[in-house]
Structure formats: structure tokens, C-alpha cells
Amino acid sequence: MAPAGQKKGILERLDAGEVVIGDGGFVFALEKRGYVQAGPWTPEAAAEHPEAVRQLHREFLRAGANVMQTFTFYASDDKLENRGNKQRFTGQQINEAACDLAREVANEGDALVAGGVSQTPSYLSCKSEDEVKAIFMKQIEVFVKKNVDFLIAEYFEHVEEAEWAVQVLKTTGKPVAASLCIGPDGDLNRVSPGDCAVRLVNAGAHIVGINCHFDPETCLKTVKLMMEGVKKAGLKAHFMIQPLAYHTPDCGCQGFIDLPEFPFSLEPRILTRWDMQKYAREAYNAGIRYIGGCCGFEPYHTRALAEELAPEKGFLPAGSEKHGNWGSSLALHTKPWVRARARRDYWETLKPASGRPMCPSMSTPDSWGVTKGHADLMQQKEATSQEQLKALFDKAAHSH
């Protein structure tokens, strides 16, 4: 047990069978608010606009999140400077600011701070294990200095790179979570989810799972395969799930980045709060205890997870003060037909319309079939040239 006044750590909570609610997708949420640039998706806002990052942390905390992930996604120097992306701040400055903001808000409630590293352009460009590990090493120096509560290696398409990340994170002595952005077919080298999970646990991860790229249904399927693999290997681990807030039944192995709507026209696919409650319950029933979200998740989605799992957690989040259970607050509405919607069976069975009569319900994903080692994926420090763009436009035109 943690001494009075000291928060229980992530492994203490999970070992006790407690539900841990993760926060949501900062990169997408802040892009929509005007603080992140789509394309590079880098988190310089932590240093440039700390008030925006702080406020989003607060909203997720109020919604019931138990983890404040530092806004350090893609904050390795090779990514910050990739393809002519100009920075006023170094990776270290961004990561330090992000740690301070996450800690400040976590201290306002019962939340833990998680420092995160993600996949690198250097790995895609076939740099050596030592070179890639050196990038992770540089990032974790800040997390150790700022004393985050645990570490997450997240958003990895290749299990090999995730293993390298876990091996580096492990050297800190802090609890380590590892999350891949893969579907049921496995990583981009077709290593199965079960084998991926076993490799991550053997590398030293205490918590393994899936984040991003796919919807809750697909991610749940993939985590279940990971659970089977770990069990079959006679190993033990905790499991986490942090899916997209977008429906992706039509995705291929690369997930939503292959959808023609990515990233600027995904709104028709957004899950409702009721979809989120269903996801939270299914994840809990599968035995997953770290349940959160990734791109597309807004605080109201996180609140839905916390509300669905309130019986298990023993309390509602603060944000539920402004939200009646299953629409019950609509009983206060002036219009009688809206008051008639103040009930669970209405919202649970509703099939929402998109209001787009000429639009299909599914898309055909791009399937260029390129991954690490392919010339198209070699990264560069210089801006993408007009000639390079023209070649891509021509290739895209011929692929449709």
C-alpha cells in the first residue's frame, strides 16, 4: 500500500485489479484547436502554447482520466527536424515543458504522469539498433530528471523497434508499458499480435497492448490475441487499450492513415459517447484494466469510459456533474419530444445518420504496401521538394 498522501503507482493499481482510465488523443485534439500542425504532428505546443496543453490535460482529468501522458509524441530530434520542419525549441525543451504541465495537472487529482516515446524516422530509414536506441536514450533523460511515474513506448508499427524502446525504458527502473499501433494481422512485418506481445514482455514490458490506427472493436480483437499469446507462453502481463475514436471497419493493415479521409475528413466516423460506453464495457469484460483512447478522443469520450466503469471504480468523474446518466438530464429540456429521449434504451439502440446522402458508408483504403526499407519511406532533413511531391501525386493518381 502507498503511504498516506502518496499516490498508488500504476502497477499497484493494476495488480489490485483497479480500472485505470487513460487520457485521449492530444495531437488530434490540439490540431483541431489550432496548436499542432497536421503532417509533422509534433508537440512543440508544450513549449509554445503551454496554456492550451494545460487546459486539455485539465479537461481529461475532469473527465476521469487517471493518467496524464506527457505531450511528447514524436518529440525526438530526428522527427522534429524531419522534412524541413523548422523548430524554435529543441526536443529537450519541449519534453521538459510537457513533463512540467502533465505533473502540474496530475497533482490536481489522483492522476499519474506517463512519459512517452514513439517510433522514429531513423528506424524507417534503416538506421542501426544503436542509433535508434540513442534517440530513445536522449528522450528518457528528461523523463528521469522530471521523475515521471511510469513510461510508455507507444505507436510502434514494427515490434522490433518497440523492443528496442522497451529495453531502453527498462534501464530507468520505472514501470514500462508498450503499445503497438497494429491490427489483428500483426505488425508491418506480419509478426502476429500474440508473438509481438510475448516479445515485448520478454523485453521487459509490464503492460502491453494496442493504441491508435484502428477503432475500439478492432483494437479489442488485437489485444485479445496478445492476451492469448502471453498466456500460451506462460508469461504474465497487464494489458492496455487506447484506440481511435473513429470507426474503421474498412481499414487495411496500416489502419486509418490509409483511409482517403485521413486526416482532414474523418469527422463522419467519430464514435458517439454511447459507442464509448459499449467499448469500455467490452474491454473490461475482456480482462483489460488500462482503458483509454488515442486520436479523435475528446474529453467527453473519456468521460463516457469513466461513467460506464463507475460501478467498478466506485465513483463518477467530476465532469459528470454536467451530464445525466444515459441522457437523463434531457428531462429538463423545454421540448417534450426531446424529454422523451431521456432514457437509456433510446440512446443505446439509436442508429445515427450522417446527413450525407451522396456519401458511402465505407471507403477504399490506399494500399501502397511500403514499409521499412522501401525507398519511399527513407526520411530526410530537407523539405519535401516539388519534384518529390509531383512523383507522389502521379503515383496516387495511378493507384486509384
Beta bridge mates, 178 = 153, 208
Distance (Å, whole) CA 71 – CA 58? 13
Give the residue among 218, 248, 222, 242 at the shortest CA–CA distance from 26: 242
Distance (Å, whole) CA 237 – CA 225? 13
Is there a contact between 82 and 121 (Cβ–Cβ < 8 Å)?
yes
Q: In 3-state terms, what secondary structure has residue 234?
A: coil
295 labeled binding residue: yes
Alpha-helix residue ranges (DSSP H) falling in the chain: 10-15, 26-32, 45-48, 50-62, 77-80, 91-106, 121-124, 129-145, 159-170, 193-203, 216-232, 273-285, 299-308, 310-313, 336-339, 344-349, 386-399
Q: Which is it for strands 67-69 and 112-117: parallel, antiparallel or unpaired?
A: parallel
Is there a contact between 264 and 38 (Cβ–Cβ < 8 Å)?
yes
212 labeled binding residue: yes
Binding-site positions for Zn(2+): 212, 294-295
Binding-site positions: 212, 294-295
